[in-house]
Structure 1
């Protein structure tokens, strides 16, 4: 018997040839790297960047989150509730924000983050002074509340609904 390959064996070069171990190792390494890159790309999309979105039951508007209560309580207890959610009673800086708040307040009265010492100027819950040119506050009370037709003031021991706001927490959706 002859040990030389026959004609049919010569046309099948891959049938008995083995790949070098380095080629197989390189292919496996490449597949692992591609799988890792794909996994990291998916995970990166899951990680939120920037500010956190509004909490459940809060409404986002112009980079703020607002909470409209359904219960009533005093101004001080309302402010404590807001603080427990890393917020203050509502602060609005523009007419657009005020109009937004009015759209959600039904026919109730809502404590907002404006207060003053007896005879002093109005001040927001974050310590900034109120610009009285924007909206007249009616009444002689020390604490402000919002209703459909504007802002009034009253004693803080009265029970009203309230609005909290968290600045720079809302992520606008595109």
Structure 2
């Protein structure tokens, strides 16, 4: 074997790499490790800053729901409706006008549970509800829907009021009483708008 070959073989390390290669590997590791750590630190700081900005923003409403409460101040929500219990008295027509001014109508009662809820909150005073009739005509709700007689109405008047858990009263529409307004709550209206827009 030639002398040059022996020197070359002798200068190679036991793992077969060229002489001095371990120095080059070590130098590349010395540059690569700090660069990787620097990049990771920059990523962590950026994520922390983004998280802090997101937490400082006011919370958004869930998709499809209004950002505020479902019922206006002074109203009570129950099963998708908002109710306003008046503190003053008026005749049936004045009461309906007051409700209309609040973008509502005199309460239409759709179920036994709703009736029980209204009785609980109305107190001891009788309150106008949305049932009215023309002489000799059937009872109707403010939206024009015919009343299906699911509870008895006593009295000979043409306007109905909430009086008792077993029956409702009727009297002359010119009698002064407190009243109950109702309207769909904002959350229910928003859901209905979303459904209608998808149709």
Common fold: TM-score over 0.5: yes
Greater share of strand:
1
Aligned residues: 153
Return closer, same or farther for 1:50/1:146 CA change in 2, 3 Å cut-off.
Answer: same
Residue in 2 that maps onto 1:68: 85
Equivalent of residue 60 in structure 2, options 46, 52, 62: 46
1:141 offset after TM fit, Å? Answer: 0.9
Residue in 1 that maps onto 2:9: none
1:170 offset after TM fit, Å? Answer: 5.4
Q: Is the 8 A contact 1:61 1:170 kept in 2?
A: no
Please identify the structure whose Cα radius of gyration is greater: 2
Structure 2: tracts of 5 or more residues without a match: 1-26, 189-199
CA distance in structure 1 between the aligned counterparts of 2:46 and 2:72, rounded to whole angstroms: 41
Does residue 155 of the first structure (1) align with residue 181 of the second (2)? Answer: no
Moved more, 86-95 or 161-170: 161-170
CA distance in structure 2 between the aligned counterparts of 1:104 and 1:168, rounded to whole angstroms: 18
Q: Deviations over 1:39-80 (max 9, x none)?
A: 39944x334643561111110101101111111111111111
Q: Deviations over 1:88-109 (max 9, x none)?
A: 0001100000011011122111
TM-score of the two chains, using structure 1 as the length reference: 0.72
Return closer, same or farther for 1:125/1:37 CA change in 2, 3 Å cut-off.
Answer: farther
Residue in 1 that maps onto 2:46: 31
Equivalent of residue 114 in structure 2, options 69, 93, 97: 97
Does residue 144 of the first structure (1) align with residue 160 of the second (2)? Answer: yes
Structure 1: tracts of 5 or more residues without a match: 1-9
Greater share of helix:
2
CA distance in structure 2 between the aligned counterparts of 1:70 and 1:157, rounded to whole angstroms: 18
Secondary structure of the residue aligned to 1:76 is helix
RMSD: 3.4
CA distance in structure 2 between the aligned counterparts of 1:41 and 1:84, rounded to whole angstroms: 38
CA distance in structure 2 between the aligned counterparts of 1:138 and 1:90, rounded to whole angstroms: 18
